[in-house]
Structure 1
Amino acid sequence: MDSLVFIIGTCMLLGTLVGFLAGLLGIGGGLIVVPALLYLLPLVGIQEQFVMLLAIATSLANMVLTSTSAVAAHHRRNNISWSIAKIMVPGVIIGALSSGTLASLISANQLQQLFAVFVILMAINMARPVKPQEQALSLPVNWLLFIITTAIAMLSGMLGIGGGVMLVPLLCFFGLKMNRAVGLSSLMGLCVAMAGSIGYIIAGWNVENLPAGTLGYIYLPALFGIAFTSILVAPIGVKAAMTWPTSTLKKVFSVLLICIGLELVFSSFGR
């Protein structure tokens, strides 16, 4: 019981940060949730072999809830380009559905190393300046955009993130302003989260020796704690995204990724 109270209470605090970042940056919070759960889950007796998969699956399940709130708020503010979304959604669903099975075939250590490398690369990428003004869109042809979004969704699902760290700079490169890129990224993150969660439930359904309170690979006590507060805070992040200048959003995004990436690098040396 003490462990249950600890994990729920701690994850409620975590959820306040996750919800704000989901609305502000459209990243779904996975870059925060996964490292946090990698630290918290062993403290409540979760076996090492399951920690990474549970962290990833729980992160995706939480994004179903936080991204729904963020998407609704962005839609009310006309931040989502639905014509682009119709092209991207099918690839996102296919990629995310396959992610659970692929992740279960990789060792926990390899998954953590992949996550660390990914975060560092994204930190470097986001530190680069984007186009300061909206330009005419120059999207790839439909089949190429489908392949790109499928690959992004597959990697995002394997890492337990919404894909915003890849989609936001990609969409900015194609000429979208930051607030519209974040809005569309939030929608794509919701699709990744829904399809990815289903994939991890299926992949972990018949796995033996999983801890109590799991649905497939989703750890429900942690999910409840994170979701409870993150849903409430996400709209505040959306309001901040509408009023903060693009340069400030870029700085927040880059600093966040750099800090997380460095922490993961240093911790990987201790494994």
Structure 2
Amino acid sequence: MSLLILAVLGCMTGVTTVLFGFGGGFVAVPLVYHLLIASHAPGEVGYDAAMQIAVGTSTAVMVINASMATFKQHRAGRLVGGFIWPLVGYIAVGAVGGAMLGSAMTSDAVRAGFIAYLGLTIADCMIRKGFLRTSDASPRRLGAAPFKGVAIGVVAALLGVGGSVMTVPLLRRSGLSMAQALALANPLSLPVALAGSLMYGAMGPLQTPGLHSGLLGYIYLPAFVLLSIGSVIGVRVALPLAGKIPDRLHARIYIGLLALAGLGLAFK
């Protein structure tokens, strides 16, 4: 895969970060995974640990995406108060555990978990009330924040998706619009990005000695750099569109993108 394609798809991670709160994970994970298995043979670390490397790289790119998007969303006044603290702290704790769990699993197990979780989330969003159409009632605070935060952190760091796949439906059912929920997904992805990047970067060499040049632990540096450059451009391009997509259409597009991400990993 050419460097140009990586940079262009990096722009997509920036766009999805702003418009859908994904932090780039739903683009970066399938992309890096297919890049690695196409360039390595079974038995090589780049093939056998492809999902861990894809997830580790995704969390590193997410640091850039989520930080920039959070700053921009804050300046635009789109962050609803009362939904970040203390949830963000519990997410960070869970992210450490999720990264440790992901490094201990096989690549195929992480891949299967990614696909299965997306399938369950799509079904939940479509079947259970409160996502496709939110109520007109005032937003209500989240209950059981410690449990929910830790669970979000574990799943997000394990799968490299930034937590938006859990936080957006959760916030949506708390009475927030899609624009509000997606804006909050960016700061809530930061603890996953930071904790996950540190853990995947540190644990890779311990779990899989002999990683070839270009990898820092489970972070694939060439992909990280190019995806990050593209993502900065994508964030800037998408910001003028934030909050302007009709609410129900926004929710439907969100589900459609989850389905595309799952299909992207369903086939080798």
Common fold, TM-score beyond 0.5?
Answer: yes
Paired position in structure 2 for 1:186: 186
Residue 133 of structure 1, CA deviation:
4.8
Partner of 2:7: 12
Find out whether 1:135 has 2:134 as its counterpart: no
CA distance in 2, matches of 1:182, 1:260: 18
Greater shift after overlay, 70-79 or 230-239?
230-239
SS in 2 for 1:52: helix
- Identical-pair percentage: 28
Give the letter for the 2:186 counterpart. S
Report how far residue 100 of structure 1 moved.
1.9
Gaps of 5+ in 2: none
Correspondence for 2:50: 51
**Could you give the per-residue CA deviations for residues 11-54 of structure 1, whole angstroms, max 9, x where no partner exists?**
11210111111110111121121111111112333631121111
Matched with 1:201 is 201
* Kept after mapping to 2: 8 A contact 1:137/1:176: yes
Tell me how many residue pairs correspond in the alignment.
Answer: 260
Question: Partner residue of 1:112?
Answer: 111
Matched, 1:220 2:221: yes
Counterpart position of 1:101: 100
Deviations 1:164-201 (CA, angstroms, capped at 9, x unpaired): 12111110101112111111111111221111111111
Letter in 2 for 1:73: K
Question: Match for 1:161: what amino acid?
Answer: V
Relative to structure 1, is the Cα distance of residues 89 and 263 closer, same or farther in structure 2, using a 3 angstrom cutoff?
A: closer
1:234-254 residue CA offsets vs partner (Å, 9 max, x unmatched): 133232222111122112111
User: Which residue of 2 is the match for residue 34 of structure 1?
Assistant: 29
Q: Structure 2-normalised TM-score?
A: 0.90
Q: For residue 210 of structure 1, what is the aligned residue in structure 2?
A: 211
Contact 1:7-1:40 within 8 A present in 2 as well: no
Larger fraction in helix: 1
Q: Within 1, Cα distance between the matches of 2:2 and 2:210?
A: 20
Partner of 1:174: 174
| Counterpart Cα distance in 2 of 1:42 and 1:245 | 39
Q: Provide the aligned C-alpha RMSD in A.
A: 1.8
Report the counterpart of residue 3 of structure 1 in structure 2: none
Q: Deviations over 1:125-150 (max 9, x none)?
A: 33354444553233344xx2121011
Listed as ranges, the gaps of 5+ residues in structure 1 are 1-5
**Counterpart residue identity of residue 175, structure 1:** G
